[in-house]
């Protein structure tokens, strides 16, 4: 029997709280399906800067490179921290993404029937929403150089650089088309081609890739128009593919279709394969939520659903993934709620109790 290896990096704020529940659920789901798993915890983010001098140490990077997958919480503190400090918590994520070549970030958004009332949008707008955002993760504005604040003869100025190569665009767009084939065969490519050169190249490459997928429908949408359509008629979307920053922003918006950021998992995948599947990093889309840290109010379901994605993509265990997702659905349908998704009839529980409820159904 093979043994699966998973690195558990809880990070900062509510990260460790929600990741602990996800790790327990993953371990139990695997064991009850007869598999062996070794979970190894390590520090990341502010906690790692304080204890080890870097947002992620070389030893932790090695652990991640040896593991089948990484279960990640969130990093960062209240506010944007000290922008002048050399070590920034976010560097941990950037290093992991770069060194593990995690170029594709998958963010599924589903409106669960039991949670329709938790969304700020009308029930009839969110009912039946089932979309997947495929966000490019290692290029664009977040990685382009130069990126700095500098002094000039006329005062300070700042520069950020957005670059995309044809190859970077092609691999993420192809990934989206492949995923669309297993869904409703509908791709929306989101850009800002009326203004940005990167977007014009993006559109050209996407059209070329689309020729190989005549069974999949493609449309292009400007990012501003997409932001509007996501809340006007979200059911029209199946797979959305977009560059790094647009995907970052649109998925926070899309999280409200599911009721809360606390419900949205993500998978970051790339080119590295392990014995069992693709090496990947799995994390809720939310951050460290300093406003509720340490109060046992955080919703662990996004982290738990991320563990389900981990079982599906990195461990090659779709039945285990289905079992975790089913358990989450049952718990929510039974009326258990953390505060962020509380509805009039629901029973409000703590982070730990929510984890217990999911465990009890595995």
Q: Which residues are within 8 A (CB) of 355 and not within 5 positions of it... i.e. 6 or more apart?
A: 20, 21, 22, 24, 25, 300, 304
Smaller CB separation from ligand NAD, 234 or 300: 300
| 192 catalytically annotated | yes
DSSP 251: H
> Which residue matches tokens 């990947």?
280
Residue 237 φ/ψ, nearest 5 degrees: -100, 140
Smaller CB separation from ligand NAD, 37 or 327: 327
Q: Count CB neighbours of 51 within 10 A.
A: 10
Smaller CB separation from ligand NAD, 142 or 237: 142
| 224 catalytically annotated | yes
**Shortest reach from residue 93's CB to ligand NAD, in Å:** 6
Q: Count CB neighbours of 350 within 10 A.
A: 16
Smaller CB separation from ligand NAD, 91 or 220: 91
Task: Tally the C-alpha atoms within 13 A of residue 201's C-alpha that lie toward its C-beta.
Answer: 14
**Active-site residue among 58, 160, 207, 224?**
224
Cα separation, 41 vs 196, in Å, equals 42
**Shortest reach from residue 127's CB to ligand NAD, in Å:** 23
Q: Count CB neighbours of 119 within 10 A.
A: 22
Q: Which 3-state string (H, E, C) describes 146-185? A: EEEEEEECCEEEEEEECCCCHHHHHHHHHHHHHHHHCCCC
**Shortest reach from residue 263's CB to ligand NAD, in Å:** 8
**Active-site residue among 68, 238, 248, 340?**
248
Cα separation, 341 vs 349, in Å, equals 11
DSSP reduced 3-state for 102 = coil
Smaller CB separation from ligand NAD, 112 or 289: 289
**Shortest reach from residue 200's CB to ligand NAD, in Å:** 29
**Shortest reach from residue 167's CB to ligand NAD, in Å:** 26
Contact set with ligand NAD (CB under 6 A): 14, 18, 74-77, 93, 261-262, 283, 286-292, 298-299, 302, 338, 340
**Active-site residue among 12, 192, 282, 313?**
192
Task: Tally the C-alpha atoms within 13 A of residue 155's C-alpha that lie toward its C-beta.
Answer: 0
Smaller CB separation from ligand NAD, 10 or 37: 10
> Which residue matches tokens 């529940």?
21
**Active-site residue among 12, 142, 313, 340?**
142
**Shortest reach from residue 189's CB to ligand NAD, in Å:** 24
Which residues are catalytically annotated? 142, 192, 224, 248, 252
């Amino acid at each position: 029997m093979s043994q699966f290896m998973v690195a558990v990096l809880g990070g900062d704020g509510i990260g460790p709280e929600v990741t602990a529940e996800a790790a327990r659920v993953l371990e139990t789901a695997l064991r009850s399906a007869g598999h062996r798993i070794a979970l190894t915890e390590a520090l990341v983010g502010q906690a790692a800067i304080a204890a080890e001098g870097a947002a992620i140490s070389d030893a932790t990077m090695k652990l991640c490179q040896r593991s089948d997958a990484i279960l990640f919480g969130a990093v960062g503190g209240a506010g944007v921290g000290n922008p002048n400090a050399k070590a920034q918590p976010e560097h941990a994520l950037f290093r992991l993404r770069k060194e593990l070549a995690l170029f594709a970030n998958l963010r599924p958004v589903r409106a669960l029937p039991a949670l329709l009332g938790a969304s700020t949008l009308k029930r009839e707008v969110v009912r039946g929403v089932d979309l997947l955002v495929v966000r490019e993760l290692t290029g664009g504005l977040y990685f382009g150089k130069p990126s700095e604040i500098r002094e000039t003869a006329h005062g300070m100025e700042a520069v950020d650089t957005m670059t995309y190569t044809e190859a970077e665009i092609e691999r993420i767009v192809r990934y989206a088309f492949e995923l669309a084939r297993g869904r409703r065969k509908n791709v929306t490519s989101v850009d800002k081609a009326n203004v940005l050169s990167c977007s014009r190249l993006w559109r050209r490459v996407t059209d070329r890739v689309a020729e190989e997928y005549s069974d999949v429908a493609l449309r292009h949408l400007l990012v501003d128009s997409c932001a509007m359509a996501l809340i006007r008629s979200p059911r029209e979307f199946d797979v959305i593919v977009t560059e790094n920053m647009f995907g970052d922003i649109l998925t926070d918006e899309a999280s409200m279709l599911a009721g809360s950021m606390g419900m949205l998992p993500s998978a970051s995948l790339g080119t590295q394969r392990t014995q069992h599947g693709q090496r990947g990093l799995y994390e809720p889309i939310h951050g460290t939520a300093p406003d509720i840290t340490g109060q046992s109010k955080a919703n662990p379901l996004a982290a738990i659903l991320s563990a389900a994605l981990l079982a599906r993509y990195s461990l090659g265990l779709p039945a285990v993934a289905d079992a975790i997702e089913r358990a989450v659905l049952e718990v929510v349908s039974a009326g258990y709620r953390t505060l962020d998704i509380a509805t009039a009839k629901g029973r409000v529980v703590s982070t730990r109790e929510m984890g217990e409820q999911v465990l009890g159904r595995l």
